[in-house]
Amino acid sequence: MTPVQAGGWVPDDLATKVHKLREMSVVVAYGEVDLTNVHLLKDLLDHLSAREVPLLLDLAKVRYIDSAGLELLMQTYQHCRAQGMPFAVVAEPLVRRTFSVLSLETVLSVFDNAASAREHLVAEWWGRRDSTSTLTEAHVSPS
């Protein structure tokens, strides 16, 4: 299936594209995320979270997400948080409105565009790593 057809048409089914960057993993989803296909996205997110780098889920081309998809977002957030990895989501206005109604934006880092989300993830990741290395260095250095 072609993720985005000419003219910006998005398929009904779920399609994904993965970018494994040095500093993060990016999953771009297209179409709809629902009970019939959420397992595909879950398998992909589980696999990528094993890389132990920040994870960005770009839903800008997803026009519908049901409760199974929302549950997956929360599970992914919890898993990444437990592993100390930043997780962010990009969402188009209609999906973002669903997040807002359910107060998911108070928990998830949600952005309007991928550039802002990437900037946030890199800053958060390197900020954590720098503070951890500083603490470690301070802890092992002789007094």
Domain limits, the chain = 6-140
pLDDT tens digits along 117-142: 999 999 998 876 655 443 334 334 34
Fold classification of 6-140 is Transcription Regulator spoIIAA (3.30.750)
**SS3 state of residue 67:** helix
Of 12-16, 59-63, 127-131, 136-140, which one has max mean pLDDT?
59-63
Whole-prediction pTM value? 0.81
Number of continuous H segments (helices) and E segments (strands) in the chain:
4, 5
- DSSP line for 29-50: EEEEE-TTTHHHHHHHHHHHHT
Amino acid at 80: C
